[in-house]
Amino acid sequence: MSSIDESKQFVPLNIAVLTISDTRSLADDKSGAALADRLIAAGHHLAARDIIVDDVDAIRVVVKRWIADPGIDAIITTGGTGFTGRDVTPEAVEPLFEKRMDGFSIAFHMLSHAKIGASTVQSRATAGVAGATFIFCLPGSPGACRDAWDGILAAQLDYRTRPCNFVEIMPRLDEHLRRPKAQGASA
């Protein structure tokens, strides 16, 4: 079980929140607000917040811009992870991943199953890393966003969490880009 190492100092991250919805605005975006409120309460910085329609290209434009922004450490999306014709978040974001985070989906479904039972299979929550930025794609319900933050993200985005957390590996996410090729390497 994880625990907080109080001898370590909290490291605030810059986290962007993207709501994917054809019907919401910032004024009535309960899921995005729940995430923003929770990450700020935890001591992180809300680096950006936006709402975009359920469109693969539109989603990719925002996510790519945030991945390229050195001031954004993590991106959390909410919405578009279901099975309706307009639900395209995984299709938009997963091709951007350099590495998939399969364990996130498993952990999310375990938490979700405890709350909503077999209905958890209706979510395609996913996560990965791109451009040294963590990306988490959550369902559009406020409850699912609260569960994901409280049950997974709050601990994994806290440097003090032991035995391990995402923050401590952040400096190494792009090491493959910084390491020069060995002399004589042909690849």
pLDDT band at 16 (very low <50, low <70, confident <90, very high): very high
3-state SS, 15-84, equals EEEEEECCCCCHHHCHHHHHHHHHHHHCCCEEEEEEEECCCHHHHHHHHHHHHHCCCCCEEEEECCCCCC
Q: How crowded is residue 165: how many other Cβ atoms within 10 Å of its Cβ? A: 19
Confidence (pTM): 0.93
Which tens digit of pLDDT belongs to each residue from 71-116?
999 999 999 999 999 999 999 999 999 999 999 999 999 999 999 9
138 within a domain of the structure (yes/no): yes
Look at residue 187 in the predicted model and tell me its pLDDT.
Answer: 47
CA atoms within 13 A on the CB side of 115: 15
CATH label of the domain that carries residue 153: 3.40.980.10
184 within a domain of the structure (yes/no): no
Look at residue 180 in the predicted model and tell me its pLDDT.
Answer: 59
185 within a domain of the structure (yes/no): no
121 within a domain of the structure (yes/no): yes
pLDDT band at 185 (very low <50, low <70, confident <90, very high): very low
